Chains A and B, each alone.
Chain A
Amino acid sequence: MNAPYMAPADTPVRQVTITIDGEEVSVPEGSTILTACNEAGKDTPTLCYGDTLTPKNACRVCMVELKGSRVLVPSCSRKVQPGMEVMTDTERVRHSRRLVLELLGSSVDLSTTPRIPEWMERYNADPDRYGERAGESLRRDVHDPGEHHAGNGSIAATMAQPDKIDNDLYVREYDKCILCYKCVDACGPQWQNSFAIQIAGRGFDAQISTEFAVELPDSACVFCGNCVEVCPTGALSFKTEYDMRAAGTWDESQQTTTTTVCTYCGVGCNLELHVQDNKIVKVTSPHDHSVSHGNLCIKGRFGYAHVQSREKDGSS
């Protein structure tokens, strides 16, 4: 079971010194190697890591070499211990990072994942070398664990499948899903406690799913959108964003972000209103905010239509 996210306490903690690529770095006891890497100015790629969630270390793109360890270790979750010698750019590290990027790139649509082109170039990844990609599968929600159709190897299996559009608030494009578990953890015991989604199936056929893949309105989903907030690849997105991308009008360079306080109740969650062409196109929440930690409810997240009412009498 994952431990719930805890904000750092104000009490002073002991510093732990480790070396990263030969240079000494000191970080508070209990920090992860990733924190130390950041401290040392090492730019470490991460995908499944979330600043408001317990590390799941599922994507394995942040792996580093640790002296004395038989295998590489995930920097996002391994805690520092005094005297650790960590290497972040050895041949083994580069190889693993390259392969993780290739394996994901060959099976998942990473077109809306931030920084992917930069990392692909840095690690010399070539996702195309695994062959022609399989087209949309209509059977990704049918689970026969322990079985699969093998084919003859000429087509590379992918996550490709139809987008799930079953409500007006957010869309699920699971062909962009890297199965990082962040949405599951945000929906479950770490934040929302709605337990609407989980991983179903096993191995490559695993898929984020409601029970029997029922549509979201029939599930326990409360449409808080906290899963959308943590999704690292754009597999979960506001319906507004999805529609604008489809229409070719989504343009982040034309967007402004305004931080404000939600007006619905007295809790004081902060909102970040993303505005394009004088219209709110999506709502996020600052992860470091002491009240909401990036979380909102359905009203704060999606209840902004009235703001955009252009008529004086309130009708839109």
Chain B
Amino acid sequence: MDLKFSNAEPFAEERDAIDRRLGGPGEDGWDGGERDERDHRSAQTSLPAWSRRHLVLEALHAVNDRVGWISPGALNYIGKRLSVAPADVYSVATFYALFSTNLRPKRIVHVCTDIACVARGSKEVCEGLEKRLGPAGAMNGWKHSPCLGVCERAPAALAVEAGDPPHEHLIGPATVDEVLLALNNGPAALAAEAPPVMAVPQAGQEGLVLLKRVGQVDPESIDDYLATDGYAGLRRAFEMGPAQIISEVKDSRLMGRGGAAFPAGIKWESTAKQPATPRYLVCNADESEPGTFKDRALLEGDPFALIESMTIAGYAIGAERGYIYLRGEYPRSYRLLRNAIEKARERGFLGANILGTGWSFELEIRRGAGAYICGEETAIFNSIEGYRGEPRSKPPFPFEQGLFGKPTVVNNVETLYNVPLIMQIGGAQYAKIGTEGSTGPKLFCVSGNLVRPGVYEVPFGATLGEVLKLAGGVPQGRTLQAVLLGGAAGGFVRADELDIPLTFEGARANDTTLGSGVVLAFDDTVDLSGILLRIARFFRDESCGQCVPCRVGTVRQEEALLRIVHNHGDAGAKGRDVGLLRDVGLAMKDASICGLGQAAWNAVESAIDRLGVLKESR
């Protein structure tokens, strides 16, 4: 392609970072991004480079990790190496919140201001930081962040230091002093991160299925994994063969745990039936729904189980390659997963000719870069392919045309963790766990104002009250005000609705949703209108901007809520604004392209109608 680049050149360390990720000069495309005489005589060099468009996001990560931001020279160099226009690279770079196309310091601390953290003191941390460092902003070294997925240790923060290698460190509970230490001396100076088991108060208890290894094994040791029943599921799967695996998963009635609750067996079957190849498997580990941290607990406590589960799923649907799309804010999960893939490959559980069966399967991790929308099942494809993480319109559905336009299964992390169990005990036996409409064990992300926040595993069927009790209830002397189910895209329920069964059918019957398994409790000290504002802010920040109802609707929703909160007293104005919220909300729900816009008004609507917050005045 005849691409035009400015004269901006990369710095040596930018060039080095990009070359290390993309391979040295001469391995593809133009030699080191330079055109020489041979290139002018033939066009053959651009095709191999062009076919690696999917590495744009990886190359941007490489630069951002190394120097902390993406300069015009680095952007040009990525474009030249991959034969992508600079405007295209720029459009991708400016889509993700963890990247910066403006100069900024090497050390940045992202301080979570999302709902679970705001209920547990992040406001005070931010006020302290404002006094010491000035207002939040990259140049002052700290930024506000949406949910970091560390809700059990709220308030949370993510300290990042660019370099070779970069240092990333999740802090929780975060204090002003720790943030300052991370900025002054680097994240390496911080005390070691709390062990993964801290997220799982039930760790070590009898009868756990999904969480059984968390805290009980060394997450870096494949021997520990093998000694605790690891890879028994895969061996059983190889005995059964793809058709029977799928039929067992169908019999298990396993429903997706990411929020949409789609039957996993149907998804696998319809993909396996497609004539087109190659087929792909994508694990959605872009856990970003505010209040959700179950996948992190699994990945950090038992990473090998994901590798095994994906190998079974890949075998069942006939995929030769799987992608783990991991959110960029999970540095420890990234490290542990990389280790797990490496170890599994060494032992012949991954790669060519797995366990001598003649079947081969590869796994690759792709890191997100700060975009909630990339957890949408088609946005995840665009992101992996190196495009902006904008959702595609459906149809075509992923099983027909997914990643790289090929039949694809996208499964949530927790969904996949059920697969080895189904292999071992069979679908029918699995279906006996839980209730008729919701089978199996389920993880709940229980956080907010509770004594023991954390990830809890219960068989489907427990009520909201029972789950809250597991977490110790609200601290003594406080009363429960409301519970948010399903995260920012979910809905509020009242403190007197604790007998709602936390099953798919129970939630539906009570006109609410389980979503990703968020159970976020707010006691009477929490200002719910502030929580609503944060949710509205979240959706405005995370809208990809593609369709009008969501792009402008999320803005108008936030503005109306701000007016209502600032206009106490003026009943007429409040009534008009609530009416406006309903109008905008309905249009977002009915006319947005994807689930983000369609759900952006759920929580606010439930707060108005169920809790009576922002009571309408006539």
Contact B543 A202 (CB under 8 A): yes
Given the interface pairs A58-B546, A106-B552, A153-B566, the reply to whether A148 lies near B541 with Cβ below 8 Å is: yes
Contact B590 A92 (CB under 8 A): yes
Q: Which of A146, A155, A178, A210 contacts B541 (CB 8 A)?
A: A146
Contact B90 A211 (CB under 8 A): yes
Given the interface pairs A146-B541, A203-B554, the reply to whether A100 lies near B548 with Cβ below 8 Å is: yes
Q: Is A199 an interface residue (CB 8 A)?
A: yes
Q: Is A197 an interface residue (CB 8 A)?
A: yes
Q: Is A135 an interface residue (CB 8 A)?
A: no
Q: Is A205 an interface residue (CB 8 A)?
A: yes
Contact B544 A203 (CB under 8 A): yes
Taking CB atoms, residues of chain A closer than 8 Å to B563 are 131, 152-154
Q: Is A147 an interface residue (CB 8 A)?
A: yes
Cα distance, A212 to B89, chains bound together (Å): 10
Cα distance, A95 to B553, chains bound together (Å): 13
Q: Which of B75, B545, B584 contacts A205 (CB 8 A)?
A: B545
Contact A143 B101 (CB under 8 A): yes
Contact B598 A210 (CB under 8 A): no
Main secondary structure of the interface of A (DSSP, over half): loop
Q: Is A232 an interface residue (CB 8 A)?
A: no
Interface string of A125-168 (1 = CB under 8 A from B): 00001110000000000111111101111111100000000000
Q: Which of A197, A202, A214 contacts B95 (CB 8 A)?
A: A202
Given the interface pairs A95-B583, A199-B388, A219-B4, the reply to whether A103 lies near B554 with Cβ below 8 Å is: no
Interface string of B535-570 (1 = CB under 8 A from A): 001001111111111011111101111111110000
Contact B97 A157 (CB under 8 A): no
Q: Is A25 an interface residue (CB 8 A)?
A: no
Q: Is B12 an interface residue (CB 8 A)?
A: no
Main secondary structure of the interface of B (DSSP, over half): helix
Contact B584 A211 (CB under 8 A): no
Taking CB atoms, residues of chain A closer than 8 Å to B593 are 57-58, 60
Interface string of B472-483 (1 = CB under 8 A from A): 000000000000
The interface stretch among A69-77, A240-248, A269-277 is A69-77
Q: Is B571 an interface residue (CB 8 A)?
A: no
Q: Is A63 an interface residue (CB 8 A)?
A: yes
Q: Which residues of A, 188-220, contact B by the 8 Å Cβ criterion?
A: 193, 195-206, 209-212, 214, 218-220
Contact B547 A58 (CB under 8 A): yes
The interface stretch among B80-88, B278-286, B514-522 is B80-88
Q: Is B240 an interface residue (CB 8 A)?
A: no
Query: In the assembled complex, how far is the CB of residue B124 from the closest CB belonging to chain A, in whole angstroms?
Result: 20
Cα distance, A192 to B256, chains bound together (Å): 42
Cα distance, A162 to B143, chains bound together (Å): 29
Contact B90 A179 (CB under 8 A): no
Contact A157 B559 (CB under 8 A): yes
Given the interface pairs A195-B87, A211-B86, the reply to whether A95 lies near B542 with Cβ below 8 Å is: no
Q: Which residues of A contact B (CB under 8 A)?
A: 1, 57-61, 63, 71-72, 74, 77, 92, 95-96, 99-100, 103-104, 106-107, 129-131, 142-148, 150-157, 178-179, 193, 195-206, 209-212, 214, 218-220
